[in-house]
Chain A
């Protein structure tokens, strides 16, 4: 067991691409965590998708052994955290398990919106924060300006920020020294009853459920009978260990230490993140403060393109959910798209990542319906309905009023793009709370309805700012809204997959756009097709696809009969992919394309 004074627990906070994973790699390397030949980039990002996108999705932890200049050997526990808002809950857990943070800022780009949110979280957790300026080897680096920016925007003293280049290895030892000298040691009592925070859990195909813990008081050891205070479950500890980042088994973990245990648990749903582990024979009186559970805020339908893949999709979703308790799904069926699942996500990136993992790791070809948020519907009979799917919208006469979620969004941008961004926010019913300038960068804080953001806000923001603006949000409150269900009708039949809930004022524009788009997407047919957008019985937009003019085989003689008949038979097969709408058959591909549309 390591003395508390020789332990430092820290997290790394950074905006995407500012070099968090590279810094983590260097720290591991400098402390000899892995042999040089074993070193690969982004050591802690295990998933292919994390490596490819350069992002961290799951928190990781690694114990480093560092011999400091004072001659002492320290145990450094690094908690790698995701940078994206969707995974804020992962960040909050990691932060709760440490006493300090390293804030990595790109020395030319400066502070971004996500960084800000995470720093504030760290400060809320009473963390000591060490600013680190990365990429100072680049010609564009302006460390002095960025230091000033950190002070102005975050209010953090950056005068003794550590200047590094994670890429070249410059300044890495200064970071390690700063961790030892500037971050506080954890507090704890080895003699007190065991309290350990359940930071995270995941499913491992060899070990079953692995639980990441931070010991606060007491000791957790192999063979110990432990109790999960929230769930009341009692288990024997099978294994205790740490990551270096290689898995190393130990006999015990003492106060202040971070590591993993296994305890014969089969499903992660049996563990509750934020729970407190204690000794069953000598239980602690009080549990540690836990976390707010993470709840999905964005919903969409996932449908297999090939209906035969439905069961495969169900199994695959189940496998992903094994390791992602924040992800929810339930079966649904659609006239336009067949059988699929309604799924809940923490945000759009979470949605995109799950979708991509399903397609890549499980070889599924998917259709994703337009993302939607949870509406609160107060019915005239006094009941409250949480609406996840527009098609479940109750009859308007039974609705007293509706509420929609609003967010508080922080946008940071070079000031040349500010005008376009403010226009975008205003178009999306945004309310400005604050607008500040720091040097040539602006920070806008807005309240925005989430349903305006899930549509295509990120894409628009990126295109307006040429990728330079960064965006972050927290859920703010539910507010009453003038919301209506808009249906898209093909030959007077509603296409469920295209139904959406929109603000009444924006309905007509959205409806017109969808109709025009479908007109482009649906091939001409034998009969003319009417496409309408309607609110209740009222049509607000309409397009007509005229009947096809010509489709005939010029030559057909004796020898051709077999071939032409086979072509016709093949066409008949193809019709299985068509969906029938009031006498019109529409290729499923048209719906898929309509769902991919954006708002330009």
Chain B
């Protein structure tokens, strides 16, 4: 049986950041957390009934801002999962946290609840950038939070966003240099992207918010180099880790493994019987909760993925990894050799142009190919 990953979405934040297109709402002043806990338990039970014999390999509390949850709620949900499934001994349990002083105070309690990996939304190490990004914390809080995480958790990661307007490659390299002093074995380094439906998207119609293309490419390339030299090479386009310190939960996505989505707006992909399912929950938290109370799950949509769509997704995700796609694993998953799906003349062309690398065991993008992956995929799949 393929192991299962569980994603739990907590959709509330203290405020909405202008770049964020994730499903999040400002936390209502009076939130009945017990009622929400009940809903999460209901949905977990629903999936346990559908997928009873699976082992849980990773659990991820994402958001929104799950560090706003009571540690007791987290503990209850984890206990419930242990009751419902067989949870692997070394199960990776990650919680996303904001670097605010009130949340730092809860780190130890989260650890006691069972969380063994913390992911901090630092985003920047200077106040001007944090203000630009609409973050509620300042650089000092960010540094303290990282230090606290390092003290509390064996495994922790933090996020930074670069490629902001006005940011020079030199300034970013300096910021990254400071980030490396905290001793984290994992970092997610994202280029600022203007996503539809965000307030940055509206502003971008009239003003420039991101660094120019050339500077942005230069920062990306410098990032790859600096992180590799620091012993945290990229294992995915925006994710860097020391050997063995990769986020196993996120690897599930990129390996196109099975996961269920719990909570408002969460997505799932899993095989049940002979079918591969894609699930999508109601984005509106109240709508999600009402439906869970009434029917045990909060799905707005469940589709059976055809083989072609599933392979397209798997290719799209797999090529994001530096190690690329394992041909044997692909063959097992889809009962079809990778070469029978991807047009070989296109692969040859991309290999010839130095964008893809092909060897006996894997198909993967070269560093150049990773940097232009959207175009590579468009070429391969059109």
Indicate if A331 sits at the interface (CB-CB under 8 A).
no
Q: How far is the CB of A23 from chain B (nearest CB, A)?
A: 50
Please tell me if the beta carbons of B378 and A571 are within 8 angstroms of each other in the complex. Answer: yes
B217–A562 contact, CB under 8 A? Answer: no
Once bound together, how far apart are the Cα atoms of A525 and B374, in whole Å? 11
B259 cross-chain contacts in A, Cβ below 8 A: 558
Q: Which of A284-292, A336-344, A427-435, A549-557 has 4 or more CB atoms under 8 Å from chain B? A: A549-557
Enumerate chain A residues within 8 angstroms of B193, measured Cβ to Cβ.
553-555
Q: How does the 8 Å CB contact mask read for A566-600 relative to B, with 1 for contact and 0 for none?
A: 00100110010000000100000000000000000
CB distance from A264 to the nearest CB of B (A): 57
* Contact in complex: A548, B269 (CB < 8 Å): no
Q: Does B70 contact A (CB under 8 A)?
A: no
The answer to whether B220 touches A550, judged by C-beta atoms less than 8 angstroms apart, is: yes
Q: Which of B22, B278, B280, B370 contacts A552 (CB 8 A)?
A: B370
Are B317 and A552 in contact (CB-based, < 8 A)? no
B266/A559 in contact, CB under 8 A = yes
- Please encode chain B, from 218 to 247, with 1 for each CB lying within 8 Å of some chain A CB and 0 for all others: 001000000000000000011000000000
Smallest CB-CB separation from A549: which chain B residue? B217
- Say whether A550 contacts B250, CB under 8 Å: no
The one of A527, A556, A572 that contacts B320, using a Cβ cutoff of 8 Å: A556
- CB–CB B316/A565 < 8 A: yes
Decide: B372 and A550 in contact? CB cutoff 8 A: yes
In the complex, whether A526 has a CB less than 8 A from a CB of chain B is: yes
In the assembly, what is the distance between CA of A73 and CA of B313, in Å? 87
- Are A554 and B373 interface neighbours, CB within 8 A? no
- Bound state CA distance, A167 and B294, in angstroms? 78
Contact string against A for B residues 278-292, beta-carbon threshold 8 Å, 1 for contact and 0 otherwise: 101000000000000
Q: With A552-B373, A555-B190, A558-B253 as given contacts, are A526 and B316 in contact (CB-CB < 8 Å)?
A: no
Name the contact of B374 in the complex, choosing from A527, A553, A559, A562 (C-beta under 8 A): A553
Contact: A568 with B316, CB < 8 Å? yes
Tell me the bound Cα distance from A555 to B190 in angstroms: 7
Interface size grouping (class) on chain B: 35 or more
Contact among B190, B213, B378 for A549, CB-based, below 8 A: B213
B309 within 8 A of A: yes
Contact between chains at A565 and B373 (CB < 8 Å): no
Q: Which residues of B contact A562 (CB under 8 A)?
A: 267, 278, 280
Measured between alpha carbons, how far is A551 from B250 in the docked complex, in Å? 22
List the A residue with the shortest CB-CB distance to B303.
A562
Q: Which residues of B contact A575 (CB under 8 A)?
A: 378, 382
Contact A552 B372 (CB under 8 A): yes
The answer to the question of A561 belonging to the interface, with a C-beta cut-off of 8 Å to chain B, is yes
A553 to chain B: which residues have CB within 8 Å? 193, 237, 373-374
A67 part of interface (Cβ distance < 8 Å): no
The winner among B193, B216, B269, B375 for most chain A CB atoms within 10 A is B375
Does B349 make an interface contact (CB < 8 A)? Answer: yes
Per-position 1/0 for A525-560, Cβ under 8 A of B: 111000000000000000000011111111111110
Partner of A559, one of B217, B238, B261, B372: B261
A552 closest partner in B (C-beta) = B373
B55 within 8 A of A: no
Q: How many residue pairs bridge A and B at CB < 8 Å?
A: 99
Rounded to whole angstroms, the CA-CA distance of A525 and B382 in the bound complex is: 14
> Judging by beta carbons under 8 Å apart, are A526 and B313 in contact?
no
Which residues from 85 to 112 on chain B have a C-beta closer than 8 Å to any C-beta of chain A?
Answer: none
Residues of A within 8 A of B374 (CB): 551-553
Closest to A526 in B: B375
Closest to B191 in A: A554
Given contacts A561-B253, A562-B278, contact A551 B372 (CB under 8 A): yes
CB-CB nearest in chain A for B9:
A559
Q: Across the interface, do A558 and B261 meet the contact criterion of CB distance under 8 Å?
A: yes
Expressed in whole angstroms, the minimum distance between the Cβ of B26 and any Cβ of chain A is 20
A559 touching B265 in the complex, CB below 8 Å, given contacts A552-B237, A565-B316:
yes
Determine the chain B residues whose CB is within 8 A of the CB of A555 once the complex forms.
190, 193, 238
Q: Are A526 and B317 in contact (CB under 8 A)?
A: no
B190 touches A550 (CB 8 A): no
Q: Which of B318-353 contact A (CB under 8 A)?
A: 320, 349-350, 353
A551 near B269 (CB under 8 angstroms)?
A: no
User: Which among A527, A552, A559, A564 has the greatest number of chain B C-beta atoms within 10 A?
Assistant: A552
Pair B316/A550 contact, Cβ less than 8 Å: no
Across the interface, do A559 and B220 meet the contact criterion of CB distance under 8 Å?
A: no
Is A558 within 8 A of B237, CB to CB?
A: no
Q: Which residues of A contact B309 (CB under 8 A)?
A: 565
**Beta-carbon nearest neighbor of A564 in chain B:** B316
Q: Say yes or no for B7: interface residue by CB 8 A criterion.
A: yes
- Pick the residue among B22, B265, B355, B378 that contacts A572 (CB under 8 A): B378
Closest chain A CB from B197 CB (angstroms):
11
Contact of B250 among A548, A552, A557, A572 (CB under 8 A): A557
Tell which of A526, A556, A561 touches B267, judged by Cβ atoms closer than 8 Å: A561
Across the interface, B371 reaches (CB within 8 A) one of A552, A561, A571, A572, namely: A552
Kindly state the separation between the CA atoms of A556 and B353 in the bound complex, as whole angstroms: 25
Q: By the criterion CB–CB under 8 Å, are B372 and A526 in contact?
A: yes
A566 vs chain B, min Cβ distance (A): 10
Q: List, in ascending order, chain A residues with CB within 8 A of B280's CB.
A: 562
- Report how far A583 CA is from B242 CA in the complex, Å: 40
- Min C-beta distance of A357 to chain B, whole Å: 35
A486 to B267, CA, bound (A): 56
B376 CB within 8 Å of chain A: yes
CA distance A554 to B240 in the complex (A): 13
Q: Nearest Cβ distance between residue B7 and chain A, in whole angstroms? A: 6
Most buried by B among A527, A553, A554: A554
A572 to B382, CA, bound (A): 6
In the bound complex, residues from chain B placing their C-beta under 8 Å from that of A527 are 353
Tell me, in angstroms, the Cα distance from A556 to B256 when the chains sit together: 12
Please tell me if B80 contacts chain A, counting CB pairs below 8 Å: no
The answer to whether A558 and B372 touch across the interface, beta carbons within 8 angstroms, is no
A575 to B375, CA, bound (A): 12
B312 interface contact, C-beta 8 A: yes
Which of B190, B350, B371, B372: most chain A CB closer than 10 A?
B372
Q: In whole angstroms, what is the CA distance A568 to B371 when docked?
A: 16
Give every chain B residue within 8 A of A571 (Cβ-Cβ). Answer: 378, 382
A558 to B376, CA, bound (A): 21
Q: Give CA–CA (A526, B269) in the complex, Å.
A: 31
- What is the minimal beta-carbon distance from B198 to any residue of chain A, in angstroms? 12
**Contact (A568, B377) CB under 8 Å given A548-B372, A552-B371, A555-B193:** yes
A547 to B191, CA, bound (A): 21
Are A551 and B375 in contact (CB-based, < 8 A)? yes
Q: Does B379 contact A (CB under 8 A)?
A: yes
Asked if B216 contacts A550 (CB within 8 A), the reply is: yes
Question: Taking CB as reference atom, which chain A residue is nearest B365?
Answer: A552
Roughly how many angstroms separate A553 CA and B382 CA in the complex, as a whole number? 18
Contacts of B372 in A (CB 8 A): 526, 547-552
Which A residues touch B192, using CB under 8 A? Answer: 554
A549 proximity list for chain B (CB < 8 A): 213-214, 217, 371-372
| Given A553-B193, A554-B190, A556-B320, also A548-B375 (CB < 8 A) | yes
CA distance A123 to B244 in the complex (A): 97
A-B contact pairs, 8 of them (CB 8 A): A525-B375, A527-B353, A547-B353, A550-B220, A554-B238, A559-B266, A561-B267, A562-B267
Closest 8 CB pairs of A and B: A550-B217, A559-B267, A526-B375, A554-B191, A554-B190, A549-B217, A552-B373, A551-B374
> Given contacts A555-B190, A555-B193, could you give 10 more A-B pairs where the C-beta distance is less than 8 Å?
A526-B376, A527-B353, A548-B372, A549-B214, A551-B374, A551-B375, A556-B253, A556-B316, A557-B253, A561-B269
